[in-house]
Chain A
């Protein structure tokens, strides 16, 4: 496969497919409106480009690019309505939500590249030639473009761009306008309701561009300053850059599969909660990213204690994270899971724990559960088993962790867990054992456990039954 494919065989059905998809989109009445505006926009852009070449004004060309950007945004709008109709296919397993993001990214980048071209043209021309600008259609073009842009912006509900413009950080143009209007509101407090809310960046740049074009027209008409045209073209190009840059950064970050910074706090809180669940040692390889605009996807590896119930932990972890992360995969991970099976009798019992005798248990807490903890570089805080777990209320012999938790956990345990609890109870070493197991686990997962000192029930399961477990807890408190 080479790079140049001038005579590449395209699929015969490409156009057919496009036609089919187009038909799908046009079946919705709302997209008719978008198509109508698109046609108007094309007409307007054609007119403007003609006027651009007739007036030979670079500033008007720069402003026309904003109209072309409106065309892109309409296309994005169409794509977003197509996306809502499409189901995830086998190849695109996450659905086509990302196409929306890609369209936003591509259109903002294209406009920025257009602005870059304007700047380049100016750089080449500025010291060399003085082009004569005719002001004939300049003002007409400005107002036509402004009118169409504002009409498109205000009458078509453009979901993706509205989202991006609200979610992205504000551009320098917005910052300056906000700064100015703040000082203006200091003088005239009545304007605060109009000026103080965040301005729509598209409206702002359209207004600012139109303003600079008007100034250009005036100066050319009155004083024949042709250099103003260049200056205002550069200004419009810079403003376009400033407006589009935060948006392309935002959508680019979505495309790069990054964790959105505004959910990091929430995510950290949830992960901390998860790591304090009974049996969880640590959470690692956590990847959270946004599929489209808004919907979060993610995966995480949860390392648990060898004697913990995988399905129960999985259910609890999923239950915690699912409200925030809609597409979630949690891999439960146990260290050294083969060993108990080897030492124990070969059996097909429902869970690996019951067949273990007390002898089998006596080793793991000190030898098999700890070494991986200490050796694993990912586990940030290697713990010393000899040091007592800090600030832990249950750490007195006799009253250990397990006896409190097991009943609480039993609320949800229908099948296997009940039997498991019984097995624990029957074993005379259970108290000591579970304590020994619990100890190394706790400090190891300190990376997420900042609420350690809080006198809550760190090992309590679930939030759905706080009352019941609390009462149980009190029962065993001295």
Chain B
């Protein structure tokens, strides 16, 4: 052997040993998971006879006794202070609630589905450190899809039979309450169980993160677990006593239940906890989670197949009434599909997140290793808290007239919408609910307008070098497109209805449309004010262009009467048109309702909507046209004449030969930008020309101007610079040499 081969062999040997050591833990993990699946199935059987609170009490008590024996939380470690006891109490109450939810879900939807969801629970730790990796989001999406699959496609026929006697054998107040809650949600029984399980899973994730701090405080997770079990048993004790005193038990003999209870306590509560703790320290967590998930899933699938089989009868320690066999929860196609999704989700979620990919390559270190820049982390640290952000933006919204107006109207609109929606749900009226959704949809245009009005006042940045004023115009354009789309859909819909007028139930329509009309009329009153100004300002915008820098202070008293600097506020126009369209819709509904009631003209409704669609369309066109012109950098229409005369004036300035490339465009409502190149005689001072031209163009309304003044020398320089090095050198050599000499002698 040479050295390399020896080294290879040694390294292989070491990795083999490492693997062998790992296999021990993996086998341990798998065995535990199989036992846990068994325990879950067993507890499902027991739960059919034992009341759920009693069951949890026994579970907690049993595990507490065993853990007290092993862990000795009182004799070892620090003493626990009073405050810690209170925290422990809260912790225990929460854990009781979670296990109550979980086991109640178990009674509802059977052991197989429970073990699926617990598959994901294994990797729930990774949920907490949820990062915005694309793989992670995919995992979360898969998890959600799997839950939806369980909810929608799992046609467990036997469930329906269970659902027929939902409160047959439950008589406690708690179960009754839960049943009514599920019935209120309107889902089938076992689906309610799934919902409960998912809820308990989500709670558990939060609970784990919260308990981490407490476990450090108490002194170790194990000690916390032991104490927690004890305390929750104590918490449940009064309830159990009351329960057993008030209701008669269905259990024939408690002695026959001792063995299964012991088994469940051992497998579900204690063994799993210890093995998980060991494996997490010996192997990396994701790997551990993955093996555990696969083991649990497979064993649950096997057990579900064989649980009702006679072979396993001796495994099952309980004899059961024959009729209950029919209500067993069995496998179905939906379960299998969702199981596949669950497995994928857990494997993606438990795979190590590749955080290195988030960074951008900055360069290489002197040693040659790549250096990354983690922008995301830096950004996360600087982001402010949500309440503060909301508070700040609210303050900003209320500062200015436009955004305040939109905000108040948005609030009004939303309030109306929610009242409508709630009333619709209350009275179970389809029309009301759908109208509410339409209103909500319309609110999105308002939100867009509000956001644009807010953004307009942001400070100019490196990227938005002129400031954010143009956002308003873009938002107006988008709102215009939005209205076009709405008009188009209404048009198509009404054309199909003209051909085949449907029967309309007009009972609920009138009050709703009158309410909508009132709300929208308020909006029109609020916005027409700004709207009229937007048009009124056009004429005199050339007089007060100087205020562009004091836009804030100026618009505060913009409603004072004199023309303000808003030449064209496309945003407000868009919002106004939206409100106008809504109003027209309400008016149309009222008119068509009257026509249908009075004369029975069913065709009135589509005709009305046809008319409204055309009206919306026609009223949007000017807005779109104006916004397009601004976006295409046309010379502002209202300043066109002024600019032309200004250009004539510029040509007449003494010393100006000509001008070229005059570009003038409206950047935002109160900014007209421009650039121009001037050719002047070589004996004129440039700065004076710039001053004059700036003054002339300022009078014409241009308030962001760049003037490039060129003399003949400039073109000479440019031609010199743009030609190659050699030519320049040759051209200037003789001339230069003389001057150099002179310069050099003079200065040295």
Contact = CB atoms under 8 A, between A and B. Distances in A.
A311 B615 CA distance: 58
A91 B643 CA distance: 11
Q: Which of A3, A113, A319 has the most CB of B within 10 A?
A: A3
Interface in A296-331: 299-301, 309-312, 314-316, 318-319, 327, 329-331
A120 B441 contact: yes
B231 interface: no
A288 B465 contact: yes
A475 B744 CA distance: 9
B138 interface: yes
14 contacts: A5-B621, A6-B619, A91-B634, A98-B631, A98-B632, A128-B430, A128-B433, A176-B134, A252-B474, A257-B466, A350-B683, A410-B739, A411-B732, A414-B732
Sorted from nearest, which 7 A-B pairs have the closest CB atoms?
Answer: A315-B717, A299-B706, A329-B675, A425-B746, A337-B687, A311-B713, A403-B747
Given A3-B623, A341-B685, A468-B729, 15 more contacts: A120-B438, A176-B138, A256-B470, A257-B667, A264-B463, A285-B706, A291-B633, A299-B706, A310-B709, A315-B720, A316-B721, A318-B718, A410-B740, A411-B728, A411-B729
Contacts of A5: 618-619, 621-622
A329 B661 CA distance: 9
Contact of A225 (B134, B153, B465, B714): B153
Given A102-B628, A179-B134, A289-B465, A332 B618 contact: no
Contact of A319 (B576, B580, B677, B722): B722
Nearest to A285: B706
A414 B736 CA distance: 9
A431 interface: yes
Contacts of B441: 116, 120
A422 interface: yes
B462 interface: yes
A421 interface: yes
B152 A314 contact: no
Given A109-B478, A113-B481, A286-B465, A425 B743 contact: yes
Interface of A: 1-6, 8, 90-94, 96, 98-99, 102, 106, 109-110, 113-114, 116-117, 120, 123-124, 128-129, 172, 175-176, 179, 223, 225, 227, 231, 252-253, 255-259, 261, 264, 285-289, 291, 299-301, 309-312, 314-316, 318-319, 327, 329-334, 337-338, 341, 348-350, 352, 403, 406-407, 410-412, 414-416, 418, 421-422, 425-426, 430-431, 462, 464-465, 467-468, 472, 475-476
A338 B688 CA distance: 8
A319 B718 contact: yes
Contacts of B743: 403, 406-407, 410, 421, 425
A264 B462 contact: yes
A134 to B, nearest CB: 18
B664 interface: yes
Given A259-B463, A425-B746, A330 B736 contact: no
Contacts of B721: 315-316, 319, 412, 462, 464
Nearest to B623: A3
Contact of A465 (B478, B535, B716, B725): B725
A312 B736 contact: no
B61 to A, nearest CB: 44
A113 B445 CA distance: 11
A3 B740 contact: no
Nearest to A174: B134
B714 A311 contact: yes
A248 to B, nearest CB: 9
B682 interface: yes
Contact of A128 (B434, B489, B619, B748): B434
Contacts of B471: 256
B485 interface: yes
Contact of B633 (A94, A258, A425): A94
B469 to A, nearest CB: 9
A334 B728 contact: no
Nearest to B713: A311
Contacts of B720: 315, 412, 414, 464
A108 to B, nearest CB: 10
Nearest to A301: B706
